[in-house]
Amino acid sequence: MALLLSENIKVATDSIKGNKLRAFLTMLIIFFGITALVGISSAIDAMKASINSNFTSMGANSFTVRNKETSVRIGRQGKRSKKYKSISYKEAIRFKNEFTFPVTTAVSTMASFAARIKFESEKTNPNIQLFGGDENYLATSGYGLESGRNFSEHEIQNSAHLAIIGKDVENDLFKGKQSGIDKIIIINNGKYRVIGVLASKGNSMGFGGDKVCIIPLTTARQYFGKQDMSFTISVLAKNTQWLALALGEATGLFRKIRNVPVGEPDNFEVTKADNLANMLIGLTGKASTGAIIIGIITLIGASIGLMNIMLVSVTERTREIGIRKALGATSQIIKNQFLIESIVICVLGGFFGILMGIITANFISYNLSSEFFMPWRWISIGFVVCLIVGLVSGYLPAKRASQLDPIDSLRFE
């Protein structure tokens, strides 16, 4: 039995070598289909892992209170559009002072989305996110210090001209030749002393995690304040068991601070850290479905092409089939020979497709600052799909070859 299988495999490979161009084109179609299926799906898995990693670092036991987005009326039957008032500095500070639940509470604001920071003759691109934060901001936002220190409560109260910069900012300004600690940088024509450098978080999913600069909250309010400036409250519970209770208490207190009448909806948003992660993962899940559909469509095209090639091969090798049957080969042996030939073409194309898929996935993973990984699940699925495509595409030609009459086959020209 093993000898017969070996002989069939040898005949199949010899046939593939004899029709190199057609076999190569079919393998190429399968290659692209498997690359799309394995590569894109694995890359999306890497994105999900990156999202989970980044939001886990923010703390699964944290939530934020922020300004509610403007609602928009759609159609005549929809509710009238409504613009919600921004969370003011007084409201945020009052919440921080009155929220006595055993949590860490921080108040922050976005001072600028596109700040440019200078040091002597060096300057960054105007793409630095400038935040104003209090002494608890680092703890609630998931940032860690690589060197230096955090703001003190006294420095926050006195609007000190101090700054904590991200790793990319330090690299841009100091080129790795010196530390940024105790250096004087210029932000919007104001001078600030660097007291800390943040540990690198990576620029995952397009979020510039290291292109940031943090200054004291009161300083940001004083020098970057604008009309309708909104402040964000971040709350970090000691553990996830306290999270639901703390979230309920925070919602009730802030409704009281903003004078929301009983029965009226909140005019602010309370969002858990993992909610945004789940939303982004849901979006990547839809992209993964799209990638699978693209891969399947490509593989269907490949299977049709392979089936046509195998049917042509049966016609061209009719005399050979007649000789093999005359020498004692059964219909089952002939069928197996063509099935093996179809599977070999699919597996060869699939092997290189899986290899390219792994390279593509890890290239994307590398750019997301994630670790090298082997997508074993998609590798297994890729091989199974190749076998299925080979069997489905080769069955009809193999069956037709096995049913040929040996006498008519021998007379075939």
Contacts of 261 (CB under 8 A, 6+ apart): none
What are the tokens at 180?
């940024």
Note whether 246 and 283 are same-domain residues.
no
Note whether 164 and 19 are same-domain residues.
no
Note whether 356 and 291 are same-domain residues.
yes
pLDDT at position 202, please? 64
Is-contact 306 393, C-beta < 8 A? yes
Note whether 299 and 230 are same-domain residues.
no
pLDDT at position 162, please? 96
Better-predicted residue by pLDDT, 59 or 120: 120
CA distance 9 to 104: 68
Give the confidence band of 348 by pLDDT, cuts at 50, 70, 90: confident
Q: Could you tell me which residues are beta bridge partners of residue 236?
A: 62, 104
Rounded to 10 deg, the angle between the 331-367 and 376-402 helix axes is 160
Give the up-direction half-sphere exposure of residue 369: CA atoms within 13 A in the CB hemisphere. Answer: 16
Between strands 212-216 and 162-165, the pairing is antiparallel
CA distance 237 to 214: 23
pLDDT at position 38, please? 79
CA distance 58 to 140: 7
Contacts of 243 (CB under 8 A, 6+ apart): 61, 62, 63, 237, 272
Which among 242, 266, 290 is the end of a domain?
266
pLDDT at 96 over 90: yes
Q: Is residue 67 part of a domain?
A: no
Read off the pLDDT of residues 144-171 as tens digits, 9 standing for 90 and up. 899 999 999 999 999 999 999 999 999 9
Note whether 17 and 109 are same-domain residues.
no
Read off the pLDDT of residues 286-333 as tens digits, 9 standing for 90 and up. 666 777 777 777 777 777 877 887 787 778 778 877 887 787 778 888
Contacts of 160 (CB under 8 A, 6+ apart): 151, 216, 219
**How many folded domains does the chain comprise?**
2
Note whether 144 and 231 are same-domain residues.
yes
Note whether 248 and 103 are same-domain residues.
yes
Report the share of the chain in percent with pLDDT over 90.
25
pLDDT at position 273, please? 66
pLDDT at 74 over 50: no
Note whether 51 and 164 are same-domain residues.
no
Is the pTM higher than 0.75? The answer reads no
Residue 346's domain comprises 2-55+279-410
Lowest mean pLDDT among 31-45, 74-88, 160-174: 74-88
Q: Is residue 196 part of a domain?
A: yes
Note whether 194 and 332 are same-domain residues.
no
In this structure, how many other beta carbons lie within 10 angstroms of the beta carbon of residue 44? Answer: 23
In this structure, how many other beta carbons lie within 10 angstroms of the beta carbon of residue 242? Answer: 15
Q: Is residue 77 part of a domain?
A: no
Select, from the ranges 72-86, 362-376, 390-404, the one with the highest average predicted confidence (pLDDT): 390-404
Which among 266, 295, 330 is the end of a domain?
266
Is-contact 164 148, C-beta < 8 A? yes
Q: Is residue 152 part of a domain?
A: yes
Nearest to 194 by CA among 203, 185, 205, 186: 185
pLDDT at position 206, please? 44
Note whether 124 and 50 are same-domain residues.
no
Region 204-222: mean pLDDT is: 80
Better-predicted residue by pLDDT, 83 or 340: 340
Q: Could you tell me which residues are beta bridge partners of residue 233?
A: 65, 107
pLDDT at position 128, please? 92
Give the confidence band of 70 by pLDDT, cuts at 50, 70, 90: low
Region 133-153: mean pLDDT is: 90
Q: Is residue 28 part of a domain?
A: yes
pLDDT at 117 over 60: yes
Region 194-218: mean pLDDT is: 79
pLDDT at position 406, please? 74
Write out the H or E segment, with its range, that includes residue 375: none
pLDDT at position 48, please? 67
Q: Is residue 73 part of a domain?
A: no
Note whether 159 and 208 are same-domain residues.
yes
Judged by phi (left if over 0) then psi (alpha if -120 to 50, else beta), residue 166 lies in beta
Q: Is residue 397 part of a domain?
A: yes
Nearest to 165 by CA among 155, 156, 157, 174: 174
Return the SS3 of 178.
coil
Is-contact 36 352, C-beta < 8 A? no
pLDDT at 101 over 80: yes
Read off the pLDDT of residues 233-269 as tens digits, 9 standing for 90 and up. 999 887 767 777 888 889 999 999 998 888 888 888 8
Note whether 29 and 105 are same-domain residues.
no
Q: Is residue 68 part of a domain?
A: no
**pLDDT averaged over the chain?**
80
Which among 239, 266, 293 is the end of a domain?
266
Better-predicted residue by pLDDT, 191 or 357: 191
